[in-house]
Structure 1
């Protein structure tokens, strides 16, 4: 008889901590059911269907990462390696469902023999013990039995992470730090919800709310197009996060930081086409329905992200825009995932050999001159060059 484990939670959102519990459970059970509970007492940030998709996407992200370890530099635990080997061989070993009644009833109905509970080092033990005792009483009243299997979060870096912590990071605009705690697909999905507050509304029909909602939906759809592994809302969020930091460190430096924000939102709306930057600028001019000095300046900032040009941007704002778009190159923690995501985005369009040739050419061009233009980014130059050289050696 198959051993089935039932892992229930609100998963609002599904974090890397949750994912690590699923991997550990796959080493103990023949099949794991991840169950999203409807909890009327909690106001969820994401719908049940959105949360189920986050779980599915997280599993796919981890499996994809396992295929690109040379690029992303990830180090998988023994449990993650074993779990992903099982999942890639037969993805039915993980089922994703939702339920509205008591967890024990849903588990019994699904044929599970054990309830799976994740436990962090600090703060969870007493609550888990109380829940386990209560479940035992409820099961006794039903003349049924379920084991409770407590799985400690296996990675120290994830022991203090919770869904509420991740949401707080997004609410504060700390999108880069949030990348540590959710997989790329979940991060991108959360950006769609949380980036709306960062879009400068005043450039669309004098801040008309309906027009602004339309523009944001347009942006989200464009950046969410199939195949956009890297040039998506997570990339926009990454740039906005660091721009916010620069604004705090250098108050009054930017004449109008909202112009930079506007340019960041539109700079990759068209991607992978000839003259993508010019086309992205044209989309901004069209949607903003105006040719004010601010809109024209934002369009020019978008053109500053055409990194094929050897000419350095002229204005300080254009240099910052140029450097923000390349900032990921200096990020030792996230560079590997960037390299993987760019590869996954372009490989279906051109094939591996053509991609390798084009990528080598691009990376070598970066190294021929200074990567960053603005003095704010000078301390990051050596880190960026080191990361680029490391990737170049792979091609």
Structure 2
């Protein structure tokens, strides 16, 4: 079985993330969407909330599993018997950072390969940060995130 891990903070999950998940599920036998517990970031949603939202928006994709992890990605991959990482790229600036990450992961475990997937052009401008900024000022995020995420953002910013 060809298992890949799609790691990220997913704070919150956007249509850009979902595009990579759906396309990855067509290429790999199993896609594990792995929410990173990153203590250096101040997320809007808890890890549990992000996992719950991801489960909800991917429930109809049979070969997708949602999980969370902390620590090194290569250690998590070893635990899951995964050999590949899938990453979405929006722009050249994404590539520079992701190339560094791919290189260190390969250095830590030379059996790990990273596959880069170009984000669909209609989502090339989209990021979780942009979504949070729009939602914070009560702008519509309807075309940026799935409905459950839209509702969760409205709840976060309604108080």
Task: Give the TM interval when normalised to the shorter protein.
Answer: over 0.9
Contact 1:6 1:32 in 2 (8 A): yes
> Aligned partners of 2:125 and 2:52: how far apart in 1?
24
Question: Which of the residues 68, 92, 115 maps onto 1:98?
Answer: 68
Instruction: Name 2:145's counterpart in structure 1.
Output: 182
Deviation at 1:59, TM superposition (A): 2.0
> Aligned partners of 2:96 and 2:4: how far apart in 1?
22
Question: Which of the residues 96, 115, 118 maps onto 1:152?
Answer: 118
Question: Which of the residues 127, 146, 159 maps onto 1:162?
Answer: 127
Instruction: Name 2:137's counterpart in structure 1.
Output: 172
Contact 1:57 1:186 in 2 (8 A): no
* RCO comparison, higher one (Cα < 8 Å, 6+): 2
List per-residue Cα deviations over 1:275-299 (Å, max 9, x = no partner). Answer: xxxxxxxxxxxxxxxxxxxxxxxxx
Contact 1:5 1:116 in 2 (8 A): yes
List per-residue Cα deviations over 1:183-223 (Å, max 9, x = no partner). Answer: 00110011111122xxxxxxxxxxxxxxxxxxxxxxxxxxx
SS at match of 1:53: helix
SS at match of 2:109: helix
Instruction: Name 1:213's counterpart in structure 2.
Output: none
Contact 2:58 2:64 in 1 (8 A): no
SS at match of 2:93: coil
Query: Given the two structures, how large is their TM-score scaled by the length of structure 2?
Result: 0.95
Contact 1:122 1:160 in 2 (8 A): no
SS at match of 1:54: helix
Query: Given the two structures, how large is their TM-score scaled by the length of structure 1?
Result: 0.39
SS at match of 2:27: coil
Contact 2:87 2:114 in 1 (8 A): yes
Deviation at 1:127, TM superposition (A): 0.8
SS at match of 2:105: helix
> Aligned partners of 1:160 and 1:57: how far apart in 2?
24
Contact 1:122 1:159 in 2 (8 A): no
Unmatched runs of 5 consecutive residues or more in structure 1: 64-86, 197-395
SS at match of 1:51: helix
Instruction: Name 1:203's counterpart in structure 2.
Output: none
Deviation at 1:147, TM superposition (A): 1.2
RMSD: 1.2
SS at match of 2:158: helix
Instruction: Name 2:51's counterpart in structure 1.
Output: 52
Asked if 1:34 corresponds to 2:4, the answer is: no
> Aligned partners of 2:58 and 2:28: how far apart in 1?
17
Question: Which of the residues 108, 114, 126 maps onto 1:138?
Answer: 108
SS at match of 1:34: strand
> Aligned partners of 2:128 and 2:79: how far apart in 1?
27
What is the 5 A alignment of 1:214-293? Answer: none
Instruction: Name 2:80's counterpart in structure 1.
Output: 110
Deviation at 1:122, TM superposition (A): 4.5
SS at match of 1:7: strand
SS at match of 2:65: strand
List per-residue Cα deviations over 1:84-136 (Å, max 9, x = no partner). Answer: xxx2xxx3x11111111111110111011201111113421111111111111
State the number of aligned residues. Answer: 159
SS at match of 1:13: coil
